[in-house]
Structure 1
Amino acid sequence: MSQVSYRQSFIALEQWLRGQLLAGEQFSLAYSAEDSQFIRFNHGLVRQASEVRQIEATVRLISNQRHASESLNLTGDADSDCARLTQTLAQLRELLAILPADPYLQLDHQAFESHRESAGNLPDAAQLIEQVTALSDGLDMVGIYAGGPMYRGFASSWGAHGWHAAVSASLDFSLYHANGEAVKITYAASEWDAGDLAAQFAQGREQLIHLGKPRKPLAPGQYRTYLAPAALNSIIGTLRGGFSARALNTRRSPLQALQLGTASFSPQLNLSERASTGLEPLFSSEGSLRQDQTLVERGQLAGQLVSSRSAREYGLPANGVDDAEHPSSLVMAGGDLPTNEVLQALGTGLYIGNLWYLNYSDVGSARITGLTRFASFWVEDGQIVAPIDTMRFDDSLYAMLGDNLLALTREQSLRISTRTFMHRDAQTVLLPGALIDRFTLTL
């Protein structure tokens, strides 16, 4: 199916649903589709290549302060899809007859027209395979490429209509040393750049050489540390639910101390949800127009993510996010440190390429724990000298990103979600690397 065909199938569903409503009924239709190419590599060669074309629709039926919804897979053929929707509507009406009224049902009855299509520029499968196999020559490379257009739509009986098309891709891969150690790299873009990908492979080759050196054992303690963007992304990821209005108002957010003014981040830290620049649509799956929202400004809490339900429950202005109230187009502002001067600025200390298994050891104080992983090194006098053993860290976000934050890199790295369970994801994070004065390793 072409982009035009996907949009036409969405419009056909919308028009059909409008003609099926009974007196007092309203509907919303959330549409999600993708036309994706998946290529799996092993030992730098293609192990599996496949294409996935799928459409999922979520229909919500509302009547007398009651609502019920159902998600179903569709084909793109109007006749067969409408036949399936006929059965779905019948089931939803049966549910509405027995459901109690929802006192917090907050419908955004704003009529809007939103249309955004980002063309992007991706290689075809043959070009991608040629690039990757050439760059992987002589390497034990394992990874998966996922790319192509994604489509989102929303329509409702109160006049909302949104359509969004975006193209993106990611190559998530590891380069293995003969000793079993690995360098993990994720290259993501909507405008694919073979030169940028080659630079990532070149850096990986260099780090593989260092992984072959004898390991340096480290004692627990505090170390001057550089967190590469992938590692910092893992740390920022622990805050995904922290900006939720529901979590903040029920004191379940890890940022409650920031909200109460008893803790703060460094003035260098600025975080915002940028719906206008991300790959997600400008409308939510619940029919609200998403807005840009400053979340942290100069280290202080400056905003929160408020769904329509939380808006009603807590008396707050909504800003168009879904009920989960998580950021989907997060941007962390860069600083003044050039990336090519990171090792010199670090001097002697830790270069951490990745972190994993992160979790909270104390939610109230925003304290997290996890393990170093992949391409983490000991640096002396601005030179990588040895890989380190896997170490556990346990530290507060207010320490790492507060008093101990020395600098942020000037350049930012785009991270596009690599989640492909059920369907590809379009969430993005744009962020720099971070130089930290004291990073606490516990064992």
Structure 2
Amino acid sequence: MTADPTDPFRLKHLAEALVQAARKAGADQADALAVDGRAIGIDVRAGGLEQAERSEGIEIGLRVLTGGRQAAVSSSDHGDEAIAQMAQRAVAMAREAPVDDDLGLADPSQLTARRDARGLDIAEEGAEPDPAHLQDMALRAEAAALSAKGISQVEAANASYSHRRMWLAASNGFSGGYARTGHALSVVAITGEGLGMERDYAGESCVYAADLPSPEEIGALAAERTLARAGARKPPTGAFPILFDRRVSASLIGHLLSAVNGAAVARGASWLRRDLGEAVLPPGMDLTEDPLRPRYPSSRPFDAEGLETQARRIVADGVLQGWTLDLATGRKLGMASTAAAARGLASAPAPGHSNVILTPGTHSRQDLIAQMGRGLVVTSMLGASVNGTTGDYSRGAAGFWVENGQIAWPVNECTIAGNLREMLMTLVAADDALPWRAAEVPSLLVGGMTVAGA
């Protein structure tokens, strides 16, 4: 039966109807997602409205498993006939897929009893913000940036809101769902003209509007960062210490997380594939995942296979404790899932992370700059050449050159290179990590890398 759009349980009905249709079409097992989302985005420029967008709708996704094969399909049409056709198409696709004996849903005994997100506080109750309010926030942020002497224009100022609900159902008996909300505000400011033009940004996103900085703070920070980049030039070439500012340091830890992802390990495509139980970070440094942090945008009560999420240490006292696994990769490696499965509407589950926290240091960012003596502070990055199998690392970077322990001038158009295995073992963490991030990582000093500049 087609779900009534006024029914508060319509997502549950849709997901369970998809599973039933898949079984009827011949699937051995099936799981389904139903997602209801709405979003508003307001862009302003030069004191006026530049663009307003609103989207809303329901989308559904189905994964079927039969004979050790699987296939996934999705649709925005959720009528009875469309659901039946989706199920038939998915089963037909699965029968042509390669066999993988490690595929399969969780045993019912593995499923969490928790079927909602109560206690996580990841959805703000109440009415969505009025578009006029979002426009006012964006205009205030733009005005704050433009009020700084030296800012020639604001390229973009954006305020947005999103509300998303999901429901997961499976033929093993699991059925559960939850909602999450997001508020975001950002500004991109420009200084100079022509070849001397420089830009930078500031932005924040949170579950609750009350947790956002004020528009004036966002605008002022975007202007401050942009003005600091005026007159940027290339750094010298050589081997130097590099400080990854907290704006980009999470990307460095992200490469470590990719290397401990069970999918990469099972393929033999991880530079850490032989290092389980070995030191991968300096002593005293932990890397923890906690999907149950209240009020955090990435929190979730269960994973995409219905397993109960929980806090765990990926690295403890510098030593790698385990891989990040979903059911299939766990079976390939002879290990239990870490309840890390994530998936899209038209994709199978795969291991993922949520709410990663790196142990902070005891010194400030400025202390680490002073400790560097001569080197580079990286505040933005572009492009990437990272070999997942060897850990060889090369990226374009911009930031600030340091001389005698102090920032000397802004830097652009340079490349930094090294090997992740060696880089991570020299890390020194600052004490400046910010909350609400999916990866809560402070500024990180790397002992030495190659800088290719002038």
Q: Same fold (TM over 0.5)?
A: yes
CA pair 222-6 structure 1, distance change in 2 beyond 3 A? farther
| Equivalent residues in 2 for 1:234-313, closer than 5 Å | 234-256=251-273, 258-259=275-276, 261=278, 264-277=280-293, 278=296, 279-313=298-332
Q: Give distance in 2, aligned partners of 1:346 and 1:7.
A: 57
Displacement of 1:401 after TM fit?
A: 2.6
CA pair 10-298 structure 1, distance change in 2 beyond 3 A? same
Q: Determine the structure 1 residue equivalent to 2:202.
A: 185
Unaligned runs of 5+ in 1: 75-79, 416-427
CA pair 310-211 structure 1, distance change in 2 beyond 3 A? closer
Counterpart code for 2:134: L
Counterpart code for 1:390: E
Q: 195-204 or 268-277: which moved more? A: 195-204
1:440 equivalent to 2:440? Answer no
Q: Determine the structure 2 residue equivalent to 1:402.
A: 425
Q: Give distance in 2, aligned partners of 1:258 and 1:66.
A: 32
| Equivalent residues in 2 for 1:126-275, closer than 5 Å | 126-137=132-143, 138=146, 139=151, 140-143=153-156, 144-178=158-192, 179-192=196-209, 193=211, 195=213, 197-212=215-230, 214-256=231-273, 258-259=275-276, 261=278, 264-275=280-291
Displacement of 1:392 after TM fit?
A: 0.4
Q: Give distance in 1, aligned partners of 2:412 and 2:88.
A: 59
Displacement of 1:316 after TM fit?
A: 0.6
TM-score, normalised via structure 2 length: 0.80
CA pair 134-343 structure 1, distance change in 2 beyond 3 A? farther
Displacement of 1:232 after TM fit?
A: 0.9
1:72 equivalent to 2:75? Answer yes
SS in 1 for 2:80: helix
Q: Give distance in 2, aligned partners of 1:365 and 1:97.
A: 36
Q: Give distance in 2, aligned partners of 1:329 and 1:402.
A: 22
1:386 equivalent to 2:404? Answer no
Displacement of 1:305 after TM fit?
A: 0.9
Counterpart code for 1:116: A
CA pair 102-406 structure 1, distance change in 2 beyond 3 A? closer
Q: Give distance in 2, aligned partners of 1:223 and 1:39.
A: 43
Q: Give distance in 2, aligned partners of 1:64 and 1:217.
A: 58
1:369 equivalent to 2:394? Answer yes
Is the Cα contact below 8 Å between 1:413 and 1:432 reproduced in 2?
no
Displacement of 1:353 after TM fit?
A: 1.2
Q: Give distance in 2, aligned partners of 1:309 and 1:348.
A: 48
1:321 equivalent to 2:340? Answer yes
CA pair 87-251 structure 1, distance change in 2 beyond 3 A? closer
1:167-190 CA-to-partner distances (Å, cap 9, x unmatched) read: 123334421112321113331212
Counterpart code for 2:397: T
Q: Determine the structure 2 residue equivalent to 1:28.
A: 31
Displacement of 1:350 after TM fit?
A: 2.8
Q: Determine the structure 2 residue equivalent to 1:335.
A: 361
Q: Give distance in 1, aligned partners of 2:440 and 2:160.
A: 19
Is the Cα contact below 8 Å between 2:15 and 2:60 reproduced in 1?
no
Q: Share of identical aligned residues, percent?
A: 19
1:275-315 CA-to-partner distances (Å, cap 9, x unmatched) read: 21252533333333334332122222112111111222221
Q: Determine the structure 2 residue equivalent to 1:77.
A: none
Matched positions, count: 417
Q: Give distance in 1, aligned partners of 2:160 and 2:124.
A: 14
CA RMSD of aligned residues (A): 3.2
Displacement of 1:8 after TM fit?
A: 1.7
Q: Determine the structure 2 residue equivalent to 1:119.
A: 123
Q: Determine the structure 2 residue equivalent to 1:350.
A: 376
Displacement of 1:116 after TM fit?
A: 0.9
Displacement of 1:64 after TM fit?
A: 5.2
SS in 1 for 2:79: helix
Q: Give distance in 2, aligned partners of 1:56 and 1:108.
A: 24
Q: Give distance in 2, aligned partners of 1:238 and 1:390.
A: 22
Counterpart code for 1:11: K
Q: 177-186 or 377-386: which moved more? A: 377-386
Unaligned runs of 5+ in 2: 342-348
1:240-298 CA-to-partner distances (Å, cap 9, x unmatched) read: 4211223224431132364373x632225322222212525333333333343321222
Q: Give distance in 2, aligned partners of 1:43 and 1:378.
A: 33
Q: Determine the structure 1 residue equivalent to 2:83.
A: 85
Q: Give distance in 2, aligned partners of 1:129 and 1:82.
A: 40
CA pair 221-97 structure 1, distance change in 2 beyond 3 A? closer
Q: 152-161 or 291-300: which moved more? A: 291-300
SS in 2 for 1:206: helix
Q: Give distance in 1, aligned partners of 2:390 and 2:338.
A: 27
Q: Determine the structure 2 residue equivalent to 1:418.
A: none
Q: Determine the structure 1 residue equivalent to 2:346.
A: none
Q: Give distance in 2, aligned partners of 1:273 and 1:44.
A: 42
Displacement of 1:382 after TM fit?
A: 6.1
1:12-43 CA-to-partner distances (Å, cap 9, x unmatched) read: 22453466544885432122332111223445
CA pair 399-172 structure 1, distance change in 2 beyond 3 A? farther
